[in-house]
Structures are given as structure tokens and as C-alpha cells.
Structure 1
Amino acid sequence: MSALRYLAGMAFAENARNLFPVSQLRKSDHDSWAWCSQSCEPVFGLRLKYPLSRGWYMLETCLSGTMAMVNSTFYFDFGDGFVEKDTVKLKGRSGKTLKRLVYFERKPKAVRLAPLNARADFNVDSLRIIPVSAQFAHSRMLKRISQKNLVRDAATPEQVKSRLEQDAGHIGIGFDELLRETYKDTFDEVSYERWIRKYEVPLFSDRAAQQNEIDSFQSKPCISLIMPVYNTDERLLRDAIDSVQRQSYTDWQLCIADDASTAEHVRPILEEFARQDGRISVTFSDTNKNIAMASNDALALARGDFIAFLDHDDLLPGHALFAMVKAVNANPDGQIFYSDEDKIDLDGNRADPYFKPDWNQDLFYSYNYICHFTMLRRELLEQSGGFRKGFDGSQDYDLLLRATKTAGFKNIVHVPHILYHWRAIEGSTALASAEKSYTTSAGIKALEDHFESLDGGAVSVEMGGQPNTYRIRFPLPETPPLVSLLIPTRNMLEVLQSCVESIINITAYKNYEIIILDNQSDEEETLRWLDFIQQHPKIRVLKYDKPFNYSAINNFGARHAKGEILALVNNDIDVLNPEWLGEMVSQAIRPDIGCVGAKLFYPDRTIQHAGVVLGIGGVAGHIFKGINEREGGYFSRALLTQNYSAVTAACLLIRKDIFEKTGGLDEENFRVAFNDVDFCLRVKELGYRNLWTPYAQLIHHESKSRGYEDTPEKKKRFLSEVARMKLRWSADLAHDPAYSPNLTLADETSRIKS
């Protein structure tokens, strides 16, 4: 289809004039904007000028407004109403034309548009639904897939087509179907079923190859699986035990403790399995002791080198023990091994894969992300003392807190494969964490006990934003340390003044100084204000009379800082919550913590920064960028304190002694971009953990004073800094321990990789 025919198709396209408000929309009070979204879920209807038919269409939208990012969703009613499965999403910057091809199997009866996921004033500058030919659609899809590097060994549209034709033949589906799936993956969450087919099946389907590998293992430990049982559904109990018997690695022992089940079928089933398989050991209790004590009864049967845990209604894939023992051989000093997990329903459908990070101590304090499938060395478990009474519902969390402490938070190995299927049935925490509210209280008790054993209990623990998540409040000393807030600036008085006033008027933590680093301001109004504001007892103004170099300016400020803590703060930051600085200081003074980052929002209250992930876009990116402030992101991580390899310097705290140990920011190689990522990685090299907290919240008017990388000179400098990052940190960029290799690096969405 030629460009001329594409333009001709626009004559039959729907447009923005045919939109009408359905919900949570009103006329804007501002002359510049037509609409105001009254919530995070505004909806337009679209009056169809022409009936939409079966076939290919190009969706085009352009929205501009007070929001930084646009997250739009088209809803199509094919006769079943507006349902989630019939949606198409478009995401990008405000003011940018966003395009996406879509194929209608049936004629849509009605169309709606959810323009934003934020409160904002905005215009719909354009909207088109343009009919296109299959040839045009195929060519554009192949081009986009090649640009996104989603197909291995395929850098051009022609190579993508050839590779997809081969792959379609291997997996037994049509080329057109695979092309559409792959194109969809460049925008949306990758189908988990497709991920299984593409990555898991080729890796684990060959049992003969697994046996050959097992034969070559230097270490072949016996694995004792602990399974407490109580009134389990007959089918689910049989399925759980069958899943152990189907393991390709056969040196295992299944230790079952029945906790005085009243269901008549339980005992005969367990006795039957024990008679048939000598690797299955069973004990029966006369009284109900609850899960922790029943687990100890099962532990008493164990004779293995490692102890693993299986709930009585869950499943192990056939390669689970093979993958774990392979990890043991690759990590002979490993003490604790944990894997990824997913959920499975009664029909065997798998969903909600949890692709976890490597050991992340502060995420573990925020919730038990290790959970399933977990395996410990027998000696470690014995030293840790087994399960304890009084922690039912979080007995595994309590045990792991003690075990990680005993192991010294070292030799904890993540096995990045799905090795556990958590049964999603009514009453299970797999289905909804609120199903068992007592588990949160038990988790708080376990954490309180853990911290009391570490430092005498000065730490306080409370429930986080969701059930089974936790907020740890670390104490401040009686005399809190002085914090030096370093704010580089040049002119832009309105931005700077808002920043400084928000710090002074909102911040609850009072022991700070503000050092404004004036980088050649020449506007008279700004200079007058700088003269005036330094009369404030907490504020100093220092002149930095050299060309802009973010790293050098902050190093200059650090040399003049009086505080024990340095805070790098952009001049386009506004404080939101009073406790932001106290929270960040309480984290920064922990002996093992390096850089501390904050939760930053765009002015429309979508997320600008919730941690930096290495490898996104080739170097690094802000994870969860653009999601709504109320959203949790992937497994609620946007709501939880945790460790990241890096955090943004737009608002970053660090102890001055650590800053000086690293030599500060690299002002030679990273004058503008990536200086914060490079700095965080050098801090990490010294043995400190970098940390992000969601409890320090600020607005970031990103690049408002400096602008974007949009001139030839800026682009050249930016590309040179990209090259230096890749040269210096290539190994780190290849795998970020705070992020799963099974998640995408194509963008900041944390979706499954394609």
C-alpha cells in the first residue's frame, strides 16, 4: 500500500470531533485545554462516521496537556460489550502522535477511548482509525519488530520475516498469527502462554538431555520435600504427590505430616502412596497442631542434604528438582536457593508468573518475595531452629528471616526459572492476599523478632500499602545528622523558588542546610532573589562560574557541605510529603546502605522514578515510568522499599564519607547523563546496597531547566556518554540483579520479555 493510498484512507477515518464524554470528563477551566479528567479513569465515546469492517486498521492519536506521558486505551465492542480482552493500548509522551495497527476479526459495533490514566487538563489533537491493506500492515509490523530487536538474529524486516517463518513452522502455527503476536508484544504484555512455548519448553522438555546432565553432576544431593497436610481435596492431594513422583531428578524424599485431618479420604491416600513408593514417608498426628508444628513433624522425617517445601495442594513442574540441583552444582557454597513461581487453576491453566530479582534484602523485608520454591541446606535449617509456634500463616517467612541471618545474607542463590505452580483456588493466598488476613499480622511479628535479634528492637514494623507487605521504620539518632541539600541552578527563578519554598515549608526533618549552586545565572530577577534568599539561616548560595557540568557542580557543592549526609536535589523538584527527608535519612544512615532514592512523580502524579534498572534501552531506565500513583506495578514493587542497582540523582541521599570514598561524580566522563548510574554502581562496588523508598515522595518537573537532548551537540555528547557507560559497565548492563532476565529491557513496563 503506497503512502498515497494511506492518505486516501484518511478520508474514511474517524476523528477527534466525533468524541463525546462518557465518564469522569468535563470542560477544562483553562483556555489552553479543552478537557479535564476528573479521575484516573476518564472515558470518551466515539460516534462512528462510517461502519468499521473486518480487516486491518491503523489507530492514530495525539494528546497534549499537563501530563508528561499518555497512556490511552481503545475499547471495542464486538457484541459482547466493552471487555478488557478487546482493548488496544497506546503509550508515549504528551504531544507525540502514537500509532498502532490492529486487525478486526469481526465488525466493531461501538468504540470508546480511555485517553489517560491520570488527572490532567488536555486536548485530543487528533484521532484517526484508518483502514489499511494487509500488505501495508505486514510491512509496518516487520519494520517495528526489527526496530525493537524482538527477534533473535534479525536486524532488518526481511530477516524478521525469515526468522518468523522458521519459528512458525517449528511451533506449528501460521506465519500471520505469529507475526501479529510478535507485533502485539512490542506494545503489550507478552502472552505468558507464548513465553512458555518460546523459552520454557525448549529448555526443559527433553527428559533424556536432563538425565545426561544429571549423570554429569558432581554433586547429587538428596532433596527432602516437606509437606504438611490437612483436609486436602482428594484430587489436589493426589496431583501434588504425583508432581513429585514425575521429577526427572529422582533422589528425593517426600516427608508428609498429616495434621489430624478429619476428611476420611486423606489417610488412605497417604498410606497408599507410602506403600507404593519407598521415597514417601508419612506421619499422622492425633491432634491438630497447625501448620508450623505439622511442618516440624514432617521435618523430623527428613534425611536429605537439602530441605525444600511444597504446600499440599500445589504442584512442581517435572524439571523443578533438576533445575535446583543444577544450581547447587553451579553454586557449591549456596545455602539458600529460591526460584520463580506462577499460579495454576483447577484446569491446569498457568498465569501470573513472578519473575523475581536476585537476592534483594530490603525487598525481602518489604514482603516474602522468595516464597516458592525454596530449598535450604539441612545444616542451615537445623542451625536456624526449624518452624516456630505462633507464626502460622507466615511460618515460612519467619524461618527464612532466621535462615538468611544465619547464612549472613550471603550465598543466597536465585534460580530464574518457574519451578513452582501455586494453586489459585478460593481461600488460597495465591488467589488474593486478603484471603488470609492473619498472615500479615504473623509477618509483622516475624519481622519484629528478626530486627530485635539484630539491634535490640529499635526498628518498628507496620503493614505496608497492601496485605502481606510491610513498612520498616528505621530509627533516627537523638541528634539527627545535618543534611546538606545541594541544588544546582541557572536562572529559571519560578522553578527554583518553588523547589526551595516547598523544602522549607513542608519538610518535617529540620536539621538541614540548603546550598544553592548558581551556575552562571544572569537574569536580574533571579540574581535579586538569590541575594535575598541567602539571608535565610538555612540557605547558602555558592557561585559556580564554569560551563554546565552536572557532576562537577555537585562535587563542588559537596566540598563546601557541612553535613554528614549529602542530598543531590534538582532545582525542578517539589516536596509532596513532610516525612520525605526523615525517611531518606533513616535509610542512608544504615551502615550497609549507600545511595537512597525517592519516589518521584510527574506533575500529573504518574510515576517518573521508582528505581533505575540497568539494561533498559541499552543502558538504564526508570522502571514503572508513567504508571499511575496508585498502581503497584509488577508484583507491587512500585509500592515497596527495596534495593536497586541505581537511583536517580534528581533526589539522592548518601553519607558524605561514602561520597568521598568514591571520588564523587565522574565529571570527566559523565558531565550530564548517566553520572548518577555510574556513581551508584561505584558505590555498589564498595559493598554498599543502594535503596529506593516509596515513602519519600516529590514532584519532578523533568529537565524543565536544562531541557531535553534535542540539539546536535547535546545528542553527540549523550551518545558519547552512552558509549562510556557500555565500556565501563558492560557486565552490569547485561544483567541487573534487581531485575529478572525474563522481563523486558525494551521499555520500563516490567512486562514479560518477548
Structure 2
Amino acid sequence: MLNRHPEADVIYSDEDKVDDADNIQQPLFKQDWNPETFLFWMEGYQLGAYRRSLVKSSGGFRNGFDSCLDCDLFLRLVEVTSQVFRIPKILYHRRIDSAAAELRQEASKIAIAEAIQRRGTRKPGLEFAGNATGELPKPVEDYHQWLKENFPRADELRSMARAAAALQHNPRISIVMPAYNTPEVYLREAIDSVRNQIYPHWELCIADDASTAEHIKPILEEYAELDARIKVVFRAENGHISAASNSAIALATGEFIALLDHDDLLTPDALYQVALLINRHPKVDAIYSDEDKIDELGMLRDPFFKPEWSPDSFLSRMYVGHLGVYRRSLIQEIGGFRLGYEGSQDYDLVLRLTEKTENIFHIPKILYHWRIHLESAASSAEAKPYAYKAAQKAIAEALERRGEPGEVSMVPLYLGHYVIRYKISDYKRVSIIIPTRDLGDVLNQCLESIFSKSTYPNYEVLVIDNGSTEPETAEVIARWAAKEPNRFRCYPLDIPFNFSKINNYAAGKAEGDYLLFLNNDTEAIAPDWIEAMVEQAQRPSIGAVGALLLYPDKTIQHAGVILGLGGLAAHSHQYLPSITPGYGGHVISISNVSAVTAACLMCRREVFESAGGFNEELAFAYNDVDLCLKIGDRGYRNIYLPHAVLYHHESRSRGYEDTPAKQERLRQEAEILKSKWPKLIENDPCYSPHLTRGRADYSIRV
């Protein structure tokens, strides 16, 4: 095949199966390559042969797909090359193993769902750059277009250099770099990226961790001789990254410390942007920037555009990453890096440091290129598996220090993401408030799911009947009142529909310490959904708590609200498969958001009342967004939970905004929201200014 088609990048064959008695059975004769249809036969992908340069460029096998490593690799490779060929012969006998096959099938579903998402939604950060023909996948092309528009050009760098010379305060920034057996080219490029900074007030503190590679010491001595700002210490014995980082910190004299891995790169303006922020915010203690990755071909890819400081998101995943800059006095106060947390030593450091300060700032610029090669943590979670257990331990200890006990578990298949289940200190009453009008079958399905599935021991359900006329609805209400006399109440409120007024009325009737606003067209799935929401709502820092809502076909209806999306506000990751991890792991882990939908929203009564309840000017739309923004304005954090899961049969009661009158009403209420919250709608702090405002898929804004 390779002699006939030397351009081939991917080759696959037909296959069959072999049982325990070595009997051949179940031949699978595949189709010739068709990129439009191959996902339908992805149960078979052996024998596969792949061009090594593409495998290296892709980062190789990914952790979290242990049962279908080859499937996931195949899916990613065929996204970046059209040179895919089939050998129409059975060249592979796959051993039958029913248990392994089941695991393989489940993992393959996730790999295929991600592939569909990458193709159908143009989601950035999942595909890699370059193939044998030099063509770029669309997300990478988008990012390269973004770089053309946003990455500083030479004349802009010269202008920044002049501005740097005029800064009132020139903080010295100590770049801390532990090094161990770094490939020569990467080590030199990392050091040169520091020397190429347009901001001159830095020192590079390198601690060699007893490298065995002979080229390390001469290179470091060469650079130390070349530039007096470069300091080097050679450790007598290998102590791993935490000890080596502390040795580098011991060399530092700067006001701030920046962390740089020994094979990564800073952008030329990185330290200037940091110094500029320090001048604008002199009390800043911690700074982080956006980042991307650089592969072995020198291609920039996988940008990660981050939100502003989001403490609960950070407890779920180490999203701040690179570039990280921290006040040296605070690092000294907390004792630097701790031994025993190698691989997640920076996560542990920032968890402890951010407990000492609220002066944490984000620079929404790409200032750091994270190196991808087969041994790097950037290439695959498998590169450093010990890191994830260290992170789990660091988070658990953070909860103890903060007096918020809970259990930390890893998200299955997605190492590096965690779910915290806080201990409920007091099972106070939850008042579940459900407005309804007619559609008795819909209401009954909702109530049945609550009463039959919910395991929380102390709740009441308040149905507010907004003028039902159908006898079936009256029968449903009467039946539940008889069946659950201590937990079910219904109040008639026959007024023109006003969602805000109805829920405010219900809050006055509720007896609970927690108010849970719930649409009548929802259906509980997870039995502990109420517990999950109470765990968060009980925390003094938390305002509104939202859930993962799914359409009946198990695509996402709601995973938090993004301000500015669609011009005003819309749901995160809407219509994507429920098994998608989401951008930066948003869907699968607890995340701070600016708002959540009132289709399922919990908060403490005191929080609701302090915000003045729902704005009754907003009778139909955006009342939940407005409530959440009022709550946030009072210093509370709003939060989305991936493990409180319900179906949402959307807008069954009042229908869609599909008539001229309804659309005019929607426009008027949109104007009210815009006039109240223009800055937040323009720049959602839980989103990024560099991500699209036109779709819910977090693609790049170009």
C-alpha cells in the first residue's frame, strides 16, 4: 500500500474476531474511506497504521480513553489529513472479550461524540494543526486568523517597549524555572524567550535538578555568563519539581515571581503586560493569563481563553495554568511549593496563596506557549498520571483549611477535573416552587419525578396555579394534595402571566430556608439533585445555584448562562451532546457562571430577599438573568453543577416567542436588561472576550 500510495497518512484494514477456542468469526468488511460516513462503522478500526509525524503532532494517545486509545487516535488523525486508505483484506483478528468490549463501547461513544462536536460546532482547543498536505483544520485556521488580528506585530512591540520605559513603577519579576534533562533546543528556546522580553526588569532563576544529560550544565553556564540577569543553581541531588522550584525561588529577589516550565515559551510582551497590570492595580497579588500550545512542528494551537477569577471553577480544575505570576512575599508566607504534590505543585501553591488574598487578576491575552511533546504534561494526561492524585489531595486539604468539609472525586474519563460534594451541615427545608397553567400531564410528570426520585429528607412543593381551566390539571393537583398532604400545597393565582410576580408571590408563601424555582416541564433524573444544590446553596459565598438541564434526546439545554451570547444572554453549550466535557471542562465540572436559568434555580431565602426578588417589569423573559446579576452585585457567586441533572421539556407551558406580539414583548424586556447591565452584557466575567458571541460552542471570535 505504501509503495502504491506514498502519500498515505492513515491506513486501515478489514478485520474479524477470534474466540477463546481460536475460532474465527464475525468478519467486518469495511467501506472504502469516506469522511462523511466513517463514523457509522467506527466499531472497527484495526488494523491501523499511522504516519509517525502525525501521531507525534497530535500528542499521541490521550488519557481518559484507555479502553479505546486507538479509536480516539484514529478519530483525531483523520480530521487533519485526507490521505486515508483501506486495505480490503482481513489483516487483524480481534480477541473476543465481552467485558473489555463493553468498556470499549462506552469510551468509544465519548470519543465519537467529541469528534462530532469538533466537526459540527467548530469547537476550538480539541483539534491539532498540520497534515501532510499543509492544510489546517477550521478551528486551527480560526486561531491563526485570531493571531493575525491580535498577536502584537513588530511595530506594536516597539511601542510597548517605549511604554515600558515610561512606567511609573518597574517591578522586578523573577522568573522561576526548574530544569531537568531538558532537550537542548527546548531549553535554549525557553531561555531565549525570556531574554527576548521587551520589559527589561526581570531575572531568570534556574534550578537544575541534578540533570544527567551532559548538555544541561554547559548551556546554563553559557547563559549565566551571557546575561547577568540569569542566575543558576545546580542541585547536588534530584529532588523533583517542588524541591527544584523552591531552590529557584531561593535565588529570587523580585517583587513578583513568574513560573516558567523548562521547555515552554513566553511571548515577547508577556512581562510587559504583567508590569502594566501591576501599575494599574498596585495591590495585585496573583496574575494569570491566557495560553496556547506549541507542537513539535512549531505550530501554535489549542488556545485556552479563560474567565476572570472564578474560585469555584478553580476548585474543580486547575484552569489558571500559565502564565502565573505571584507576589513573592505571599509565596514566602505560605512556604513555597510543598513536597509530595509533584505534578500538581502549582495547583496546590495557588490554592493556598489565593486563600490569603482577593487581589487576583486575569490578563485576557495569550502570553504563554505550553510545549507539546510526547513526554510533556501538555500532550496527554497520561504523561504525568501521579499529578491528578496530588491535585485531589490538594483540593481536599483546601476544603479542610477553609472549614468547608466535603469529598473530592475525579470526573471519570477526564483526569484533571474534580467534583466536590460538600457536607450538608443542616438539612433545612427546601421549598420547591412550580408555576403552572393547564398541561396536567406535564405537571404530573414533574411532580412524579420529584416525589418518587428525590432523596432529600426535608422539602415541600408549592404549585402556583396560574389560571388553569383544564379538568385534567385540577385532577392532578387534587391527587397530589391527597397523596402528599404534608409536602404538597397548591395556591391559585389567576392573573395575567407574569413569571416574576408568580414566583415572588410563591416565595412569600414558602416555609423553606432554601427556595428552589422549578419549571413545570422539568423532570428530575438524579435522585440526589436537591442535595447537590443544597450543598452549594448553604455556603455563605454562594448565591444562585443552577443545574445541568437536558433535552429529552440527551443534548444539553442549559449548563449556565453566558452574557452577551446572541446579543444578550443564552445558554452555555446548548444542543451539544450531554457527554461533551465542554470548553475547558466546563460541562463536566462545577463552574462559576454569571447567571443560571430559573427553570431550576436554588438560593437561600436571605439571598433572594436581599436581591429584591424577581423584577416584575420582566414578566416573561430575562427575569432569571436579572435576578442572578442582582445577586452577583451583592457579592455572591453564582454556580453551575454538572451532577444536578434534570430533563427540560422547554417552554411547554407558555410556548415560544413566535408571534409578533411575543417578539415585541421580548424586545422590550431585552432593552430593560441591557439598560441595567450594559457592562456585564458586553463582557461576561465568566466567559472570554475572545470567544464567539454568535454560538454556544465557545468557538473563537474572529
Fold match by TM threshold 0.5: yes
Cα deviation per residue 1:398-434 (whole Å; 9 max; x = unaligned)?
Answer: 1111110011xx1101001111100001121211123
Match of 2:475 in 1: 528
Match of 2:433 in 1: 486
How far residue 657 of structure 1 moved from its aligned partner, in angstroms, is: 1.2
- The partner residue of 1:339 within 275, 279, 289 is 289
- The partner residue of 1:429 within 350, 354, 377 is 377
Inter-partner Cα distance in structure 1 for 2:473 and 2:40? 40
Match of 2:176 in 1: 226
Cα deviation per residue 1:308-333 (whole Å; 9 max; x = unaligned)?
Answer: 01001111111111111111112111
Query: Aligned with 2:464: secondary structure?
Result: strand
Query: Aligned with 2:596: secondary structure?
Result: coil
Amino acid in the other structure paired with 1:671: A
How far residue 40 of structure 1 moved from its aligned partner, in angstroms, is: 13
Match of 1:566 in 2: 515
CA contact (8 A) 2:319 2:584 kept: no
- The partner residue of 1:677 within 625, 630, 653 is 625
Inter-partner Cα distance in structure 1 for 2:397 and 2:476? 52
CA contact (8 A) 1:515 1:539 kept: yes
Matches within 5 A, 1:437-586: 437-455=385-403, 458-465=405-412, 466-477=414-425, 479-535=426-482, 536=484, 537-586=486-535
How far residue 634 of structure 1 moved from its aligned partner, in angstroms, is: 1.1
- The partner residue of 1:193 within 119, 140, 144 is 144
Query: Aligned with 1:418: secondary structure?
Result: strand
The answer to whether residue 687 in structure 2 is matched with residue 701 in structure 1 is: no
Inter-partner Cα distance in structure 2 for 1:460 and 1:205? 52
CA contact (8 A) 1:190 1:752 kept: no
Match of 1:606 in 2: 555
Match of 2:129 in 1: none
Inter-partner Cα distance in structure 2 for 1:231 and 1:520? 74
- The partner residue of 2:269 within 312, 315, 319 is 319
Amino acid in the other structure paired with 1:693: L
Extract structure 1 runs of 4+ deviating beyond 2 A: 39-44, 81-87, 204-207
Cα deviation per residue 1:477-533 (whole Å; 9 max; x = unaligned)?
Answer: 2x4010000000011011111000011111121211011111100011211221221
Inter-partner Cα distance in structure 2 for 1:598 and 1:476? 18
Inter-partner Cα distance in structure 1 for 2:369 and 2:538? 40
Match of 1:54 in 2: none
The answer to whether residue 694 in structure 2 is matched with residue 743 in structure 1 is: no
Inter-partner Cα distance in structure 1 for 2:38 and 2:170? 54
Amino acid in the other structure paired with 1:569: L
Match of 1:251 in 2: 201
CA contact (8 A) 2:265 2:369 kept: yes
How far residue 436 of structure 1 moved from its aligned partner, in angstroms, is: 1.1
CA contact (8 A) 1:190 1:751 kept: no
CA contact (8 A) 1:662 1:683 kept: yes
Amino acid in the other structure paired with 1:452: E
Inter-partner Cα distance in structure 2 for 1:648 and 1:508? 23
TM-score normalised by L of structure 2:
0.80
Inter-partner Cα distance in structure 2 for 1:674 and 1:627? 22
Inter-partner Cα distance in structure 2 for 1:270 and 1:347? 25
Amino acid in the other structure paired with 2:192: D
CA contact (8 A) 1:383 1:406 kept: no
Query: Aligned with 2:687: secondary structure?
Result: coil
How far residue 635 of structure 1 moved from its aligned partner, in angstroms, is: 1.6
Matches within 5 A, 1:327-476: 327-407=277-357, 410-455=358-403, 458-465=405-412, 466-476=414-424
The answer to whether residue 255 in structure 2 is matched with residue 260 in structure 1 is: no
Query: Aligned with 2:163: secondary structure?
Result: helix
Match of 1:110 in 2: none
Query: Aligned with 1:297: secondary structure?
Result: helix
Amino acid in the other structure paired with 1:720: Q
The answer to whether residue 593 in structure 2 is matched with residue 644 in structure 1 is: yes
Query: Aligned with 2:266: secondary structure?
Result: coil
How far residue 42 of structure 1 moved from its aligned partner, in angstroms, is: 5.0
Amino acid in the other structure paired with 1:245: R
CA contact (8 A) 1:189 1:751 kept: no
Inter-partner Cα distance in structure 2 for 1:657 and 1:728? 23
Matches within 5 A, 1:109-120: none
Inter-partner Cα distance in structure 1 for 2:295 and 2:211? 24
The answer to whether residue 79 in structure 2 is matched with residue 84 in structure 1 is: yes
Query: Aligned with 1:340: secondary structure?
Result: strand
CA contact (8 A) 2:435 2:520 kept: yes
How far residue 307 of structure 1 moved from its aligned partner, in angstroms, is: 0.4
Cα deviation per residue 1:144-165 (whole Å; 9 max; x = unaligned)?
Answer: xxxxxxxxxxxxxxxxxxxxxx
How far residue 353 of structure 1 moved from its aligned partner, in angstroms, is: 0.3
Query: Aligned with 1:191: secondary structure?
Result: helix
Query: Aligned with 1:300: secondary structure?
Result: helix
Amino acid in the other structure paired with 2:265: L
Inter-partner Cα distance in structure 2 for 1:257 and 1:651? 52
Query: Aligned with 2:348: secondary structure?
Result: helix
How far residue 85 of structure 1 moved from its aligned partner, in angstroms, is: 4.8
How far residue 190 of structure 1 moved from its aligned partner, in angstroms, is: 6.0
Query: Aligned with 1:84: secondary structure?
Result: coil
Cα deviation per residue 1:124-143 (whole Å; 9 max; x = unaligned)?
Answer: xxxxxxxxxxxxxxxxxxxx
Match of 2:162 in 1: 212
Inter-partner Cα distance in structure 1 for 2:585 and 2:464? 37
State the percentage of identical aligned residues.
Answer: 44
Inter-partner Cα distance in structure 1 for 2:265 and 2:151? 16
Amino acid in the other structure paired with 2:282: P
Give the root-mean-square deviation of aligned CA atoms: 2.3
Inter-partner Cα distance in structure 2 for 1:236 and 1:199? 25
Matches within 5 A, 1:116-127: none
CA contact (8 A) 2:176 2:204 kept: yes
Matches within 5 A, 1:288-327: 288-327=238-277
Structure 1 alignment gaps of length 5 or more: 1-21, 24-38, 45-80, 88-113, 119-180
Query: Aligned with 1:247: secondary structure?
Result: coil
Amino acid in the other structure paired with 2:672: R
Match of 1:635 in 2: 584
Equivalences, count: 584
Match of 1:725 in 2: 673
Amino acid in the other structure paired with 2:569: A
The answer to whether residue 645 in structure 2 is matched with residue 689 in structure 1 is: no
CA contact (8 A) 2:417 2:585 kept: no
Match of 2:536 in 1: 587
Match of 2:89 in 1: none
Q: Structure 1's 378 and 40: CA in aligned 2 closer, same or farther, altered over 3 A?
A: farther
Match of 2:610 in 1: 661
CA contact (8 A) 1:189 1:752 kept: no
Match of 1:61 in 2: none
Inter-partner Cα distance in structure 2 for 1:487 and 1:40? 46
Match of 2:190 in 1: 240
Cα deviation per residue 1:604-646 (whole Å; 9 max; x = unaligned)?
Answer: 0000000101101111010100110111121221111011110
Amino acid in the other structure paired with 2:473: T
Inter-partner Cα distance in structure 2 for 1:549 and 1:347? 59
